[in-house]
Chain A
Amino acid sequence: MGIEKMVLVNIVGDMSQLDNTLGKCCESGCFHIEPALSRSNENRSEFKMLSEENPYTNTLRRFGELCRKLGIDVSSAAAVKAASYSETGYKTLYDFERYVDSLEREPGALLDEKRDCYKEISEKGAAIKQLNHLKGMNANFEQVFSCEYTHIKLGKLPIDSFEKLEYYDEVFFFIPFDKDKQFYWGMYFCANKDKAVVDEIFQTLYFEPVTVSPYIQGTPEKALEELNDAVNRRSLRVEQIDEELARFSKEKSEEVLKVYAQLALRDNTFGLRKKAAAVNGKFYVKGFVPKNMSEDFKKQLSKLKSISVTLLPADSEPDLTPPTKLKNGWFSRPYISVVEMYGVPVYNGINPTLFVALSFTLLFGIMFGDLGQGFVVFLAGLFMSLKLKNKYGGLLTRCGLSSMFFGFMYGSFFGFEDFLDPVYEAIGWGKKPLEIFDQTTFILISAVAIGVAIILMSMILNIVTGFKQHDYEKAIFGCNGIAGIIFYSSVAAALVGRLAGFSLTTPMYVIFLIVIPLICIFCRVPFSIAAKYKRWQLSEDPEEGGIGNFIVENFFEMFEFLLSYVSNTLSFLRVGGFVLCHAGMMLVVMTLMDGFSAAAQPIVLVVGNAFVMAMEGMIVAIQLIRLEFYEVFSRFYEGDGKPFEPVGTKLVSDTE
């Protein structure tokens, strides 16, 4: 349950083998490519980065655009297997261009007609809009435009530009007669002699002159009616064309996707050349490979002629940060997406996925405990992972199982609280282990206790990370370091003791386990500087403030830390709150059901359960993500790592 160890791979070979090498790297599925030279090294090295224009890109984009017009979803090209690439028989760029040309030609007439329809709809639509705006001008066009000494322009002016008019000294008038969200529609007047200057001013103000559309003829009402009819006719024709295109696409889609996938593969492989460097007919490529796969990878590449592969430790180049590949078992694997939502851990950091998997599953079960509903969540998870291949399916199956377990403990089955009683009697328990509404205090105290355990665990992870990074402030003196954990656990233990009826707060206990840790947290910066550099200094920046400043700042910070210990712990009360909330909501469903006739009751039951599952399921998931991110991750986790992205695996989806 850690982070995969990496190896830095340097590949050098003849230029003639570059495409084959990159192809092999893609096939391996385990090669994370890096630029062969960093920008700073480029000037010093004899090697130069390759910067050829990718000849496939524009054809691929054209192909993608054509597919979009035909309604073929190219993202499904990702499903096309490499084995089927060869079936298409397209090898050179010319072959692909010819294929795209022919594909474009076949439905060409339909596509042209559709474009013309859209053009007409757009023009006539604009004329309708124009007509609506011009209705406010109660004047005869011919009279207005026949003025001899006055220059007039009709059009629309952005609202911001309208406000700017008062800054100008020139003599002109702008008369608005309509206004929408962004424009004033109107006309401006000026003397003919000022025409050039005023026209330029309005041009800089983004005034868009309007030429009265030739479509506007006769009375405005009649013109509007005719224009609307024409727009409706063309829209109808567009629908017919779409149907014809859909028939054509259905026939061709399988072949189109295969060719598209092959072209995308070539485009992506060629695109990788940008990361390679070359000199005197030799190329140089570098990247990272997981250590356990490095020997196989080397063996595969060694089959190519005149290729030399060197394996080096991951940290051999200080400029290069190794990527992070999380190593997880079957149970925690589906939770990677939750961790990655926050960010990927750094290469030498810790992998929190197992911790997240355990806490998330446990808390979900507690908050959403119902045997029947948990089973539905489990089935939904199975369906999503097996049929839809959705990454969240695994997460749902685990949460569903946890929900079933706690549902069994609460005796809840689709809201029927007594349904499982015979089972408890059969196994000799007599009654359900947890009666939700009778043991409210126990549930809430347990929720806080679980919260304390989770917070302590995240503090331990913070300490481990701090020591790994040689950050003593974080590991020892910080509010989540050793001092923090001692203080927090001691206060928690003292409170538990008080609840249990005995007192732990002896003077020694208070001094050593509460006061001294608090002093450490208060002086964490000077203490960590002293531990690291063996000198006494109040702050990292020697010019920053004096002792007074230090005391005031840290007093308020301490106040914030103490407040956050309390608020973060109480935050876990929501876990208990949701147990009660779930039971309460199901009680409402049952009460509602009782109010309906016997025939309608099953419908109310199904709808009620579906509603509770959808709404509460979502809320519980959101609350859990919130707890994980803010109460847990904020204590130890920095998602600043670089994700491991092997070339080839996202070969086709890249161009989606």
Chain B
Amino acid sequence: MNKASLNATITKIRAMHGRMLTDEDYRILSSKRSLAEVAQYLKEHPGFKELFADIDVNTVHRGYIEELLRKHDFEIFTQLRDFQHLGGKHFYNCVSERNDTEQLLSLITSIDRGEKQEFINAVPVYALTQSDLDFHKLTECRTIDELADELEHTEYAPLCAGIRRNTSGKTDILALETDFNTFYTKRLMASIKKELSKSDAALLTESVKAGVNIRNFINAYRMKAYFNASPEEIRRKMIPLSGGAADRRIEKLWECDSEEDMLRLMSKLPGVKQAAADSRGFIETAVTRVKLKYARKLMRTQSMPAVYYAFLQLCEIQTSNIIHIIEGIRYGLEPDRIEALITY
């Protein structure tokens, strides 16, 4: 499909983008004092009117609102992907593939803990219908080794060695999380390079790398600030970057002695230095704001894959913001404290 014909999808995305929550909406939502008020506001908002139409704001469960919002994001992804029949390309299945990765990790963790019920309770059925994996069969596995046997015949086969219990009879869940995330990122980067034009790929590679950097940075900062982790421990938990000069500069962050040093070094790094200068709220939110900025920048381009990817990220940030607001209200935080938690 040529670039011009994909403009229809761009137009559709821009129309959907226009119905997203604005800064003013976030300010109003932060000042609400109950879940019912938030749900009522969303129920009247053009972007959520249809989604919340049948919800009784007085009885609805907080968890159900979160699930609805996530489902909404997933439906947006399938709608856009199927609008011009783009499902044949790996890249346009990125959300579904990421969901598979997350659900597999969750299943492994729950089997490892012997609490498979937890996985079943939380599993998003709407997403599994889009998956190539037979989750119904996978949930019947009683042990991690059984699960690894099942996965041997899927595209996740390269990860099976890590999934199986090691000689001490344990599964290193944290290492596995890094393996899964790295696997997902590498597949995404490979599909971008293989399936998209060079200019589109350049835009998206930058964005994906920025996303990886942000995720790595937040994890590293937390490990350093809350657990005083060593550079080696941090490095093990990071999704490896491609090794270019810019990436090597970012990697120096892991070697910092303290979180203050991390911030100091960060203020010199292009791309994330704004986060160090941002005085609003928490550093995690400030870093996510950089991701938001990238996504907004991509939204302005005429590259359909870039606009598609950016919009999915914006939806994700919006959902995460609403969840933060709901949680803030649940814990009785003041409006300005809630505002500091959200990315806008």
Contact = CB atoms under 8 A, between A and B. Distances in A.
A35 interface: yes
A211 to B, nearest CB: 10
User: What are the 5 tightest A-B residue pairs by CB atom distance, in nearest-first order?
Assistant: A40-B267, A35-B279, A38-B277, A206-B64, A204-B121
A39 B60 CA distance: 40
A643 to B, nearest CB: 14
B89 interface: no
Nearest to A37: B279
A630 interface: yes
Interface string B272-287: 0101111100010010
Interface of A: 35, 37-41, 43-44, 49, 53-54, 57-58, 61, 65, 122, 126, 158, 160-161, 163-164, 166-168, 180-183, 201, 204-206, 208, 274-275, 319-320, 342-343, 541, 543, 553, 556-557, 560, 630, 634, 639-640, 656
Contacts of A41: 267
A160 B335 contact: no
Given A122-B58, A206-B63, A61 B335 contact: yes
A213 B264 CA distance: 61
Interface stretch (B49-57, B149-157, B167-175, B308-316): B49-57
A40 B263 contact: yes
A44 B120 contact: no
Contacts of B210: none
Contact of B336 (A57, A168, A180, A201): A57
Contacts of A54: 336
Nearest to A642: B274
Contacts of B302: 630, 634
B15 interface: no
Contact of B24 (A126, A161, A656): A656
Contact of B243 (A38, A205, A543, A630): A543
Given A41-B267, A158-B64, A343-B300, 18 more contacts: A39-B283, A40-B266, A40-B276, A40-B277, A49-B279, A53-B334, A58-B335, A126-B56, A158-B67, A164-B123, A166-B136, A167-B136, A204-B121, A208-B60, A556-B197, A556-B198, A634-B302, A639-B300
A553 B277 CA distance: 39
A353 B31 CA distance: 39
A581 to B, nearest CB: 21
B244 A541 contact: yes
A320 B277 contact: yes
10 contacts: A39-B277, A40-B276, A43-B263, A43-B264, A53-B336, A122-B58, A126-B56, A205-B121, A557-B199, A640-B297
B71 interface: yes
Contacts of A160: 67, 71, 124-126
Interface string B103-126: 000000000000000001101111
Nearest to B118: A204
Interface residues of B, number: 47
Contact of A39 (B123, B279, B334): B279
Nearest to A168: B120
Contacts of A35: 277-279
B61 interface: yes
Interface string B185-226: 000000000000111000000000000000000000000000
A469 to B, nearest CB: 14
Contact of B61 (A38, A65, A208): A208
Nearest to A167: B120
Given A160-B124, A164-B123, A204-B121, A38 B297 contact: no
B166 interface: no
B59 interface: yes
A250 B197 CA distance: 61
B260 interface: yes
A260 to B, nearest CB: 15
